Amino acid sequence: MADNEKTTGDALWNLNIPPEEISNAAKQVDEIMGEIIKNYTAINDEVGVILHNWQGLAHDKHVDLFNEDAALYNEYIEEAKYDAFRMFVVSDAYSAVEQRNVERSGRLSSDIF
C-alpha cells in the first residue's frame, strides 16, 4: 500500500488507506444515496396526493417552496453520486498502480543489497 504524504502548513499527514476501503466507502455512499432517493420519492408521491386537494394561494405557495427544495435536493443527489463515482475511479486507479508496483518489485534482483 502506498504511503502518501502531504504537508499542509506545519502539519504533515499520511494517507494509508487500502484501495478496498475506498471502494467499500463508495459502495456505502451509493447504498445510502439509493435509500435517500427511495425515501424522497415516497415523500414526493405523498405530497403529490395532498396537492390534488389544495387550491389557490396555499397550493401555489407550497408548489413554489417544494420546487425550490427539489432543485436543492437534485443538486445534492447529483453531487453525492458524483463523489461516489470519483471514489470508485480513485479506488480502481489506486488498485492498478499498487498491482503494477507489486509486479515491478517482483522483477528486482534479490542481490541488490
Compute and round to an integer the Cα radius of gyration of the chain. Answer: 24
Residue with cell 394561494: 57
Q: What is the pLDDT of residues 35-44, one digit of tens each?
A: 999 999 998 8
Within-domain flag for 111: no
DSSP 14: E
Q: What is the pLDDT of residues 74-83, one digit of tens each?
A: 999 999 989 9
Within-domain flag for 47: yes
Within-domain flag for 6: no
Within-domain flag for 34: yes
CB atoms within 10 A of CB 91: 21
Contacts of 20 (CB under 8 A, 6+ apart): 91
Range of the domain at 84: 19-100
| pTM (two decimals) | 0.64
Q: What is the pLDDT of residues 55-66, one digit of tens each?
A: 888 888 888 888
Within-domain flag for 42: yes
Within-domain flag for 56: yes
- Regions of the chain with pLDDT less than 70: 1-15, 108-113
Complete DSSP assignment for 28-39: HHHHHHHHHHHH
User: Which CATH number do you get for residue 32?
Assistant: 1.10.287
Within-domain flag for 66: yes
How many domains would you assign to the chain?
1
